[in-house]
Structure 1
Amino acid sequence: MSRRFFDDQDFQAGQVAELGAAASHHIGKVLRMAPGEDIEVFNGRGGEFQARIDSISKKAVAVEVLSFNDVNRTPPLAVTVALPMIKGDRMDYAIQKATEMGAAQIVVLDTERCEVRLKGERADKKLAQWQAIAISACEQCGLNIPPQVSGVENLKNWLGSELPDHRLVAHPGEQPFDPAVLERGASLALLTGPEGGFSDEELSAARDAGFVPFALGERVLRAETAPVALLAALWAWLG
């Protein structure tokens, strides 16, 4: 499999395209690839392009776009993963792995028991960092449509927004989820809690918003582990 690179532009087969700064730096400076090498490029709008490196300069990499492959490798269920702010690199891990597991959208929430709080410019910088992590994860795993990472949003405000019809909230001690209600091609909101869990008030608000509490086994998962494990369970249930 050729190395894959994201670049936000309209590629056209049969044309030479100059890649943006991020992709050019990765190809020319980090990987030290050479003209003539085959790669894949995608722009996040669906599908991927087979390409060949045409030239490498100090400023940019140019590629010859050879052909288009209309494939996205998306899972059979569009899942919005809503997870709390998690401290340090564990948040990066959660974003990366949720993307690899096929989350269609990722929403970062502020809950009562969050380990960290972000606002203003600091939050904007973190969101940009997490979006870049999601894109990098797509380059690695083969997805062609990166999830949009949004937030940081207050949990109660998010619960009052327009959400998918199917809604699940992970909470220890609840009954196992019945996968029979899932439908291929449908959409689902999957809400997971912080290290300290949801408060009684938050869990009640989630129930009032139509979220069905469920547990995945008898163990209490860490905040960064829960989204990944639950997505894996969803795909196993759907076969």
Structure 2
Amino acid sequence: MRRFFDPQPFSQGQQTVLGEDASHHIARVLRMQVGEHLQVFNGQGGAWDAEITAISKKAVTVLARGFDAEDRAAPRPVTVALPMIKGERMDYALQKATELGAHCFQLLTTERTDVRLDGDRQEKKLRHWQQVVVSACEQCGMNRVPRVHAPLPLDAWLAQADAALKLMAHPGEAPLANETLHAADSLVLLTGPEGGFSDTELHHAARYGFVSFALGNRVLRAETAPVALLAALWARLEG
């Protein structure tokens, strides 16, 4: 069944006019018809089975018929902090990390970050990346949509990062101890830019309580690291 995100309340037995994005996708892109069934979710957990009851030029109306309360959240809330990456590789990192259960994303600028955004260009990119995350949730079954936060300088973010366990991926470090991981009820996962972190950045992260660790002895690409590391963390927590 096709799934659509629309950030508004739904109630069983009541008809709801969907917002512009969901309506456009249903009526203009997919060309769905009155009477077809779909699922809608608003990011608060769970999802509604619904039926299309009307399609106009500007909006789609659905009737919510039943609620599926399954949350489908990851075993721990994890903030994925990653420097901005060039081109479609940024889309890939956000999409796949969402599919793997990221709670939210903090974008960063570092000494070796090549992508720099400001003003209208930054706002346009943030809207695009948030839509990438929404589409990933619609596809994978996640019912809570991670927020993509505007870029911050790494040093400024390190001082305010807050979680029971703050992890920093860096090649050459020791693996993470299982006891350390299982004891934490919330996580921050910081991954590096193309070119890696500088020695100064590694020192600052350690000063703010970040634990450096590695996944094997290979150097992962900037867009691969958050995806592979999340998969490894969940495998160890759920294994």
TM-score after normalising by structure 2: 0.97
CA deviation string 1:43-101 (max 9, x = no partner): 11111111001111211111111111212101111110000010111111111111111
The residue that corresponds to 2:222 in the other structure is 223
Using the alignment, how far apart are the partners of 1:179 and 1:26 within structure 2? 43
Matched, 1:43 2:27: no
CA deviation string 1:133-176 (max 9, x = no partner): 11110000000101111021110000001410201100001111
> 5 Å matches for 1:53-132?
53-132=52-131
Aligned residue identity for 1:95: L
CA contact (8 A) 2:104 2:147 kept: yes
The residue that corresponds to 1:138 in the other structure is 137
CA RMSD in angstroms comes to: 1.1
CA contact (8 A) 1:168 1:191 kept: yes
Matched, 1:14 2:37: no
CA contact (8 A) 2:37 2:52 kept: yes
The residue that corresponds to 2:198 in the other structure is 199
More divergent stretch after superposition (170-179 vs 182-191): 182-191
CA contact (8 A) 1:77 1:184 kept: no
CA contact (8 A) 1:76 1:184 kept: no
What is the identity percentage for the equivalent residue pairs of Structure 1 and Structure 2?
A: 58
CA contact (8 A) 1:77 1:183 kept: no
Matched, 1:26 2:25: yes
Deviation at 1:180, TM superposition (A): 2.0
Using the alignment, how far apart are the partners of 2:126 and 2:179 within structure 1? 35
Question: Unaligned regions of 5+ residues in structure 1, if any?
Answer: none
CA contact (8 A) 1:54 1:62 kept: yes
Using the alignment, how far apart are the partners of 1:99 and 1:221 within structure 2? 19
Deviation at 1:185, TM superposition (A): 7.5
Using the alignment, how far apart are the partners of 2:12 and 2:187 within structure 1? 35
Question: Which secondary structure state, in structure 2, belongs to the residue aligned with residue 122 of structure 1?
Answer: helix
Question: Unaligned regions of 5+ residues in structure 2, if any?
Answer: none
CA contact (8 A) 1:36 1:52 kept: yes
Aligned residue identity for 2:4: F
Using the alignment, how far apart are the partners of 1:15 and 1:51 within structure 2? 10
Deviation at 1:42, TM superposition (A): 0.5
Using the alignment, how far apart are the partners of 2:32 and 2:132 within structure 1? 22
Using the alignment, how far apart are the partners of 2:111 and 2:96 within structure 1? 24
CA contact (8 A) 2:34 2:55 kept: yes
Aligned residue identity for 2:63: E
Question: Which secondary structure state, in structure 2, belongs to the residue aligned with residue 182 of structure 1?
Answer: helix
**Structure 1 residues 213 and 95 mapped into 2: Cα distance closer, same or farther (>3 Å)?**
same
Which 4+ stretches in 1 moved above 4 angstroms? none
CA contact (8 A) 1:7 1:41 kept: yes
CA deviation string 1:170-223 (max 9, x = no partner): 000111111222237811000000010000000000000101111101110000
The residue that corresponds to 2:234 in the other structure is 235
CA contact (8 A) 2:164 2:184 kept: no
